[in-house]
Amino acid sequence: MGWWTFLKGLWLFLKVAIDPTNTRAATDGTVYVNVPVLPLIRRRFERDATGRRLLAERPRLDRPTIDFSALAALPTGTLGRAFADFYTDRGLDPDALQDLPPGVHGDEAYVALRLRQSHDLWHIVTGIGTDLTGEIELQAFTFGQLRTPSSLLLGFGGALQRNGKYPGLFFRALHAYRRGRRAAFFATVAWEDLFTFPLAEVQVKLLVQGEE
């Protein structure tokens, strides 16, 4: 691992800068460049009661673990229904790109996987879109939460690169970063426990109360 892995991640991000549709390069590059900070995030899990439970039980957010049909049957407006609809409406596969690249092990591998599998829930709860500018904004929000190199590069690097085409994008990214700083720590949220709750209630709990 070490610096060679980090540099490999930067090379993958260069591919993403050239071709933003290269999802595999983006997802693998994210893990590789974040290797130096994964121990810090793992320690935040260990300091949190829910985080410790997640590390012990290692629940996953994919079809073998989550009954998406049951989520789709939940009332409109619940977090679980919004999660199921997110994939149905976009024609996406919740199991796509869930395996981590080689070289990440143990609790830190689970932390990286949890962050990857909960990414779409971050979109849902923050209300940030999934288009190119939305992904940049969410990465800026993520940097406010995690201080990961990937979110700095994709969030603020992406905002600077594309601010000319999308005027005001950098300031939107800065606002998203500040939201991330104020919000509750999303990484250790047990999303599975919140699926039956109204999405608006979850947003108040994680975003509004986190700003106080």
Q: What's CA 160's distance to the chain center, in Å? A: 21
**Number of domains comprising the chain:** 1
Query: Distance of alpha carbon 76 from its chain centroid, rounded?
Result: 23
User: What is the domain extent for residue 124?
Assistant: 2-211
Query: ∠ CA(18), CA(27), CA(3), 5° rounding?
Result: 85
The identity of residue 91, as a single letter, is: G
C-alpha span between 140 and 191 (Å, rounded): 21
pTM (two decimals): 0.89
Q: What is the pLDDT along the chain (212 residues), one digit of tens a residue?
A: 555 666 666 667 677 666 766 777 777 777 788 888 999 999 999 999 999 999 999 999 999 999 999 999 999 999 999 999 999 999 989 887 677 766 788 999 999 999 999 999 999 999 999 999 999 999 999 999 999 999 998 899 999 999 999 999 999 999 999 999 999 999 999 999 999 999 999 999 999 754 54
**Residue positions counted in the chain:** 212
